[in-house]
Amino acid sequence: MLFNSFQFFVFFPIVTLAFFVLPHRYRWIWLLVASCYFYMVFVPAYILILFFTIGVDYAVGILIENAEGRRKRLLLVASILGNIGVLGFFKYFNFVQMNLAGMAAALDWNYPIQLLNIALPLGLSFHTFRSLSYTIEVYRGNFQAERHLGLFALYVMFYPELVAGPIERPQNLLPQLRERHEFDYERVTDGLKLMAWGFFKKLVIADRLADFVNPIYNQPAAYPGVALALATILFAYQIYCDFSGYTDIATGAAQVMGFKLMRNFQRPYFAISIADFWRRWHISLSTWFRDYLYVPLGGNRVPKWRWQLNLFITFLVSGLWHGANWTFVAWGALHGLYLLLSIWTSGIRMRMSRVLGIDSSLDLLRPLQVVATFSLVSFAWIFFRASTIQDAFLIIQHIFSPSGYSGTIGETLLTYLNMSKVGIVSIMILSIAELAQARASLRVMVRSQPAWLRWAAYYVLVMSILLLGKFSDQRFIYFQF
């Protein structure tokens, strides 16, 4: 089920109302049934995959807790193999096959390529990672194995975060599933407002921008550099609003019922460096890779060259997690390279800013850092969005070629800006809101306003969504992961 669907519009109030009406001891059953239904709207049979990973990790968690030494490690390996195996099979089998076939063809070998005609189960990458974090935390002794199968299943399948995160840690969510949550007017209305804001980002900004970006990126050879450059910048906001919008809806829906999910975005396009960007973007994933890949590889507690290699590998794998395509690997590699370059050039950059006299002027330095970081991130998005590596390089070539800006560039730019005006105006509203958030939480700011102004804001927000939003069941970008 998509959040931006009529079905969810009916599903959410029914599930939430029943949640508050039911006695506490039955609520977990209701939420579990609702989550199963939520998932089965996509492809019903795929729930068996979820049941498989839940079953394996529930059993493994208990066994790990009672085991020691080698047996304990073997159980963890079993859980990792089970989860990664499922992920690998559904997500990467065809990718591996096609690459092997390509290599064989290059070597003039006969490789009878066998591709599977299977649809990727939605949210597979998210719930397997959620499940894995559970077994790893139990292995590390940071969390006690959950004995209640129903609650564990609900931890993995909790519908707000089921298909696109945040990737919750067991320490955060599982205890909350046991707590009694009562109706609280302030908390519920805050949750609803967060959902409305999420819908605004998704339906008004992301989906309107997609109308502009998709035709250009689907046929990049047909567009001049100025259009490709604009599409790239707008895609940066499309993916941010799409994903953070989804997260806001998920977080708001959970909050309405009294569950607090982890923050997944922290104004990423105000980052002052690539490292800072990754502290603000898809935080649940970046911290997952930090805790379960980067740190086990040695993190930064190893020789310098090894530390930097660990960083690069982590970003490579992160890129691959996003999709079975070399473009995602290239995107991850580029971010890894950015980080390495920032480490290698940190001394030079500090000296340069001292020489230019901007090191002591935050008012000047910070905007420059934000613009530079945004530019680097947007450049990397080219690989993320392009259909193939060849397309990505073609887009880069067109963007940086002077011929892409010849002729009446002003007029051309105005034409393309006009085509995307709803999205652009909405981006400006979003940016103003996020700038304001630097001083105080948006919710606190809104709550401190007089009632008539608050109601006017709610009215304008809802009417904007209804009159300017795109209601075409457009999937969330991160659903494909």
Partner 1 sequence: MIKLLGRICLLSGMVAISWLLVIVLANSQSNSGSKGYLAGIIDKHRLLGETSPPRIILVGGSNLALGLDSGMVHREMSTNVVNMGVNAGVGLKFMLNEVRSALRSGDTVIIIPEYEQFYGYRNGGTTLVETLSIYPEGIRYLDSADQWLMVVSQFPGYAQGLFLRFFKGFGTANGFAINRSSYNEYGDITAHLDQPSRVKVADLGLSRPGKLDFDDEAVSILNEFARFARTREAKFLLIFPPLPAAQYDINREQIEYAYARIKGEAEFAVLGSPRDYLFPTSYFFDTVYHLNRQGRAARTEKLIDALKTVH
468 interacts with partner 1 by CB under 8 A:
yes
Nearest distance in Å: CB 69, partner 1: 48
**Interactions with partner 1, residue window 377-436 (CB under 8 A):** none
Judged by CB under 8 A, the number of residues near partner 1 is 19
Nearest distance in Å: CB 129, partner 1: 26
185 interacts with partner 1 by CB under 8 A:
yes
52 interacts with partner 1 by CB under 8 A:
no
96 interacts with partner 1 by CB under 8 A:
no
What letter does residue 447 receive in the DSSP assignment?
A: H
Among the listed ranges 30-38, 232-240, 366-374, 455-463, the one in contact with partner 1 (CB under 8 A) is 455-463
For residue 188 the two structure tokens come to: 């519920």
**Interactions with partner 1, residue window 191-250 (CB under 8 A):** 215
Nearest distance in Å: CB 467, partner 1: 5
- Catalytic member of 282, 322, 335, 398: 322
Among the listed ranges 126-134, 357-365, 366-374, 463-471, the one in contact with partner 1 (CB under 8 A) is 463-471
Among the listed ranges 26-34, 298-306, 322-330, 464-472, the one in contact with partner 1 (CB under 8 A) is 464-472
CA distance 129 to 286: 12
Nearest distance in Å: CB 119, partner 1: 9
CA distance 303 to 317: 21
- Dihedral in degrees, nearest 10, Cα atoms 31, 33, 34, 37: 160
Q: What share of the chain is helix, strand, coil (3-state, %, to 5)?
A: 75, 0, 25
What letter does residue 321 receive in the DSSP assignment?
A: H
Is residue 138 within 8 A of residue 61, CB to CB? The reply is yes
Length of the chain (residues): 481
Burial class (CB in 10 A: 0-12, 13-18, 19+), 45: exposed
For residue 466 the two structure tokens come to: 């209804």
Please indicate whether residue 322 is annotated as part of the active site. yes
Looking at 18, 188, 365, 394, which residue binds partner 1 (CB under 8 A)?
A: 188
Nearest distance in Å: CB 7, partner 1: 8
In the block, residue with structure tokens 């030494």: 69
Nearest distance in Å: CB 167, partner 1: 26
What letter does residue 120 receive in the DSSP assignment?
A: P
**Interactions with partner 1, residue window 10-49 (CB under 8 A):** 20
CA distance 162 to 123: 7
- Dihedral in degrees, nearest 10, Cα atoms 160, 164, 170, 174: 10
Looking at 127, 469, 478, 481, which residue binds partner 1 (CB under 8 A)?
A: 469
Q: Which residues bind partner 1 (CB under 8 A)?
A: 5-6, 20, 183, 185, 188-189, 215, 455, 458-459, 462-463, 466-469, 471-472
Active site residues: 322
